[in-house]
Amino acid sequence: MRTPQILTALLLVAAVAGGVVLERFVVAPAGENPAPAGAAAATQYVCPMHPEVVRTAPGTCPICGMQLVAAAAATPAGLPEVAVSAAVVNSLGVRTARVQRTTLWREARVPAYVQGYTAGGSQALRAPFAGQVVKLHTAAGKQARRGEPLFEMASDVLAEAQAQHLHALAANDPEHSNKTRRKLHELALAPADIERLERTRTAIAALTMPAPVDGRVAAIEVRAGDAVERNAVVLSIETAGEVAVDVDLFRSQLMWVKSGDRAELRLAHAPNRAWRGTVMREGVQVSPQKRTYIVRLHVPIAPGLVFGNMTGEVRIFGDPHYQALAIPREALIRGEHGERAVLALGGGRFRPVAVAAGIESGDAVEIVSGLREGDAVVTSAQFLLDSESSLRAEFLRMGDAPAHDAGKTHDHAH
């Protein structure tokens, strides 16, 4: 039988059909291989309930506290190196990134379902002194963010108070200047306005009144140019209410999400805006149809922006992993034999290595074992390099058999 030769031919055909046979690949010298093909896989320890928890030493699961059990790494150890010419590296567009330590936040991205809205209160903005509203910066129905200018006021009272304070400063009279400074505070001048007045010795013509809170301008009672008395209502702001949002979590996510975790909500009708909220773990419900757990979030949102039955997406951020060893997400290869990354050894040489991945955060993934800080990993064309190395490993495992069988076949031919 010519089984090895047939198998070799099938592997070559499969490799060509899959686009994984690259020009000018060579197997690295045997002495450079980290381990012979078929070498025993390193022992790893996993949690029976949380397979994403992988460690290189015995211990307990950080999620549920169960003892980790030994499991042989399924990824073949000692995959051979492949060497590629500079021309092929360039044509494949091979890119690399360094393994580095960083802070990773455990994150869950889940669909969001708005359940209802609880309205906030209303806050009136009054004229701090008798004078004239010289300019309006907003209109009824518009959103206002804390610190944004809403209107400007001018008055002889304002001009006189500033002149008195500048006179006290020029006279170097601390007692008088403290008195005139308190008067400016009473007229609603912010500390920054007073400091600028004292530094520049230049009075402002009009006082800008900012929004004291986030909210929506509910009504404006005056027009630009109107004269108003002290304490007259100029406009009113509806303060942000609170939206109740339900999210579906899988059991693995529920195990680490806790009350108080930071969350970010984006609604489908306003994808470019994000609102921050918090997780409330109390009263978790079960969804038998989806096999998920329903958790509620509370998110402060200004009125008029959200209504019941709206949908969107929520990102929940768990506790950070400080000094985590991480690689770009695209550098990780997940397959039926486990997880791998392709090391760039320099000089056009590459080698797949088995790794154990931890949490994912944004575009980065934690590496629990298999790589060291400063290693270079391939972030593009890594699947081609990994497939070529696997094919080389198959050839190496069959290395002695074809020649031996070929001799027998030759004898049968005679």
- Whether residue 126 has pLDDT greater than 80: yes
- Whether residue 73 has pLDDT greater than 80: no
Domains and CATH numbers, the chain: 3-102+321-413 (2.40.420.20), 108-119+240-320 (2.40.30.170), 125-239 (2.40.50.100)
Kindly provide the residue ranges of all beta strands, DSSP E only, lying in 155-269, ordered along the sequence: 207-210, 215-220, 227-228, 233-239, 241-249, 262-267
Residue 372 has what pLDDT? 93
Strand partners, 205: none
- Whether residue 155 has pLDDT greater than 70: yes
Residue 382 has what pLDDT? 59
Q: CA-CA distance, 255 to 281, in Å (whole number)?
A: 11
Residue 347 has what pLDDT? 87
Q: What percent of the chain stands above pLDDT 90? A: 35
Residue 263 has what pLDDT? 92
Q: How confident is the model at residue 208 (pLDDT cuts 50, 70, 90)?
A: very high
Residue 286 backbone phi and psi in degrees, to 5: -110, 135
Residue 93 has what pLDDT? 82
Q: What percent of the chain stands above pLDDT 70? A: 76
- Whether residue 159 has pLDDT greater than 70: yes
pLDDT in tens, 226-251: 999 999 999 999 887 888 999 999 88
Q: State the pTM of this model.
A: 0.43
Residue 405 has what pLDDT? 42
Instruction: Give, for 15, the enclosing helix (H) or strand (E).
Output: helix 3-18
User: Between 156 and 20, where is the model more confident?
Assistant: 156
Kindly provide the residue ranges of all beta strands, DSSP E only, lying in 329-390, ordered along the sequence: 333-335, 338-346, 349-361, 364-369, 376-380
Q: CA-CA distance, 136 to 226, in Å (whole number)?
A: 11
CA neighbor of 21 nearest in space, from 344, 385, 378: 385
Task: Please give the full DSSP string across 275-320, using - where no structure is assigned.
Answer: EEEEEEEEEEEEETTTTEEEEEEEEEE-TTS--TT-EEEEEEEEEE
Hey, CA dihedral for 323, 327, 328, 330, is it positive or negative? negative
Q: What is the separation of C-alpha 264 from the centre of its chain, rounded to a whole number of angstroms?
A: 10
pLDDT in tens, 292-328: 889 999 898 877 777 878 999 999 988 888 888 999 9
Single-letter amino acid, residue 263: A
- Whether residue 390 has pLDDT greater than 70: no
The stretch 173-178 carries a mean pLDDT of 92
**Greatest C-alpha distance within the chain:** 123
Non-local CB neighbours of 165 within 8 Å, separated by 6+ positions = 177, 180, 181, 183, 184, 194, 197, 198
- Whether residue 384 has pLDDT greater than 70: no
Residue 408 has what pLDDT? 39
SS3 36: coil
Residue 52 has what pLDDT? 63
Q: CA-CA distance, 260 to 243, in Å (whole number)?
A: 16
Q: CA-CA distance, 410 to 68, in Å (whole number)?
A: 54
Give the mean pLDDT of the chain.
Answer: 79
Residue 61 has what pLDDT? 79
Triad 222, 226, 227: Cα angle to 5°: 115
